[in-house]
Structures are given as C-alpha cells and as structure tokens.
Amino acid sequence: MPTLESLFKTKKDGPYSAPVNVKICGVAGEKTYVNANGEEKKYAVLGVADSSMIAKCTLYDTSKLKVLQEGNSVMLLNVIVKDNNSLTLTTKSRISKVGDVKVSSERQKAAREIAFPPMSSEVPLKDIEKSPIKSMLSVRGQIVAEEITRTVSVKGRDTKVKSLTIKDDTGKCKVSLWRDLAASEIGIGQHVKISDVVVQTYNNEKSVSSTTRTIIEEVEAPRSTTVTSEIIAFNMEDSCDMSVVINDGELYPSYKVQSSIMAAYLNCNAEDLDDVLATKLPVQATFSIENGEIVNFE
C-alpha cells in the first residue's frame, strides 16, 4: 500500500489512481468560494496523516464529509496530487473506511493544525503600516467609524462588504469585512478582536481584510491606557468629581476625573477649577485612563 510520502514522490498530472490509507486528524467547517463561472460552491480543508508524513487535503465534494470525520481512517482513491504536500478530493474521488491507521500523537496534532491553524499573532495597529502585503495577523481596538454595507461584484457575483475603522493606543486601521462577516452585529464604540486578517494596500494606504479564517470577538476595553489628546469641554459634577470631553476627532469621549487630580495638573485650587478651565480650554494633555476614568496626568 503506498504511503503519503511515496505518493508525493511519484506526483503526476491528473488523479492518482493507487489507494492510500490515511487518518483524518482535523476537519474544518465548510467554507464558500466562487468558481470561474461565478457560481458559489462549498469546500472544506482537512488535515490527514499516515506513518510517513502529514498532508493538507482540500475537499470539493462536501457530501463526502459524512465519511471524512475526525478520527476516522479512510482509503483515498483518485485523488489529485498538488504541490506543497497537498491533495485535492473531487466528485470523482473515492473514499472508504478502513482499519485504524497508526499515527503518532505528535503527527496527529501537526496534521490537525492544517485544518485549524493557530491564530496569527496580534499586532499593534501602528505595525500594520510596516507589515508585508498579504501577511496574516490579528488586530484589536475600538470601533470608531463604520460604513454602510455595500454590494460589489466579485468574479461576476454580488458580494457584501462592510468597512470599519478601529483604533488603539498606537494608531488606527481600516478593516474590510467580507460576505457573512459584513452582517456582524458590531458597531461604533465597541472593543473588538479580529483574528486572521490579511494586509492589503489601496492608494498607498495599508489596511486589513477578512479571510475565511477570520473570527470577530467583542472584548473588554483596556483596563489602562495612555492618551495624548485635547481637552475641549468639562462638567463639574460634585465637589470631588468632574468629567472632561476629549477631542479624538471621532467619538469625543467623556472621562471622569477627580477634581484634585485636575487641579494639581493645572496648578490651581480645586474651588477655582471652573474659572481656570473656562479660561484655558482647549488644553493639550497626556493622561492615563483606567476603567473609563483619568487617574493621572503626565
């Protein structure tokens, strides 16, 4: 019986007719693609292995998924052998269950990661500008701008896309969400983590775009962050507390601050804050925020 290693060494054009027995180590969920005729089709990615090596397997006949379950051992016939240790299964491929194919736990884990790759590294938004085009990464930030969902033509088929702008302590970035992700229930003010996006460029501006691996998660706001911005307005709330409005050019957030902290920064008495601020605003300042409150000025 041929092994995966021998199969790749004897790669030829067209389907490989000799059988090869493998263990299914990972099966990713069905995904959608548009073929050359503009038709929407389904496919799935699997990680398989035998005693010789691991391989990526792309399945274009998803009706076969009932046999290709994680943990099953199967015989593959009429598979197409691709470069980079990759196999393609089509409607002409034959799949049958066989006895257990022995594979080490380490190899099974590596094969499973083909179907479920580890999440790409999270980077500060400022680093996107120096990231290579088409590199995969993850980002986190607060949504500060949101465009309406648009419909564009991709390979002759109407496709939905929605653009957001997110912001963190280091900068801002535009994010394009495609297809089903365009309908994600997220909006301005929310803090999100968006995994496995790809870097792209348009008009010499870097941005990121969703992929078939992208997951969007709502996350908590950072507990502590340092901001340099302009204080443009204030409200005296009681003898100890007040709030200030920040000119970030987008959301104009309001933060609480103890009157004593503000007075120390402005070098005045707390009872004089109302008059001093009315005279000095707008004021450029650098300050630390924890849980929505300014805790000190630098």
Instruction: Report the pLDDT averaged over residues 152-179.
Output: 90
Give dist(CA 134, CA 208) in Å, integer: 9
Cα maximum dimension of the chain: 89
Whether 73 and 51 have beta carbons less than 8 Å apart is answered as no
Whether 227 and 294 have beta carbons less than 8 Å apart is answered as no
Which pLDDT belongs to residue 116? 92
Cβ-proximal residues to 248 (8 Å cutoff; 6+ apart), any chain: 144, 167, 229
Convert the pLDDT of each residue in 199-215 to its tens digit: 999 888 999 999 989 99
Convert the pLDDT of each residue in 227-263 to its tens digit: 888 999 999 887 678 899 999 887 788 888 999 999 9
Which residues lie across from 227 on neighbouring strands? 287
Cβ-proximal residues to 86 (8 Å cutoff; 6+ apart), any chain: 55, 56, 57, 58
| Residue 108 pLDDT greater than 90, yes or no | yes
Residue 109, helix vs strand vs coil: helix
CB-based contacts of 80-85 (< 8 A; 24+ apart in sequence): 80/14, 80/15, 80/16, 81/7, 81/8, 81/11, 81/12, 81/16, 84/56, 85/4, 85/8, 85/53, 85/54, 85/55, 85/56
Average pLDDT of the chain to the nearest whole number:
90
Convert the pLDDT of each residue in 10-41 to its tens digit: 766 667 778 999 999 999 988 888 777 777 88
Q: How many CB atoms lie within 10 A of CB 45?
A: 21
Which pLDDT belongs to residue 13? 61
Whether 195 and 173 have beta carbons less than 8 Å apart is answered as no
Which pLDDT belongs to residue 264? 93
| Residue 155 pLDDT greater than 90, yes or no | no
Instruction: Report the pLDDT averaged over residues 55-64.
Output: 95
Distances (CA, A) of 211 to 22, 164, 274: 29, 15, 51
Reported as half-sphere exposure (CB side, CA atoms, 13 A), residue 110 has a value of 12
Residue 114, helix vs strand vs coil: helix
Domains defined along the chain, listed by start: 4-115 (2.40.50.140), 125-218 (2.40.50.140), 224-297 (2.40.50)
The sign of the CA dihedral 152, 156, 158, 164 is negative
Which pLDDT belongs to residue 14? 65
β-pairing verdict for 191-202 and 215-218? antiparallel
Could you give phi then psi for residue 261, rounded to 5 degrees? -70, -45
Distances (CA, A) of 105 to 48, 49, 135, 138, 161: 13, 11, 30, 29, 41
What tokens appear for 133 in the block?
């085009």
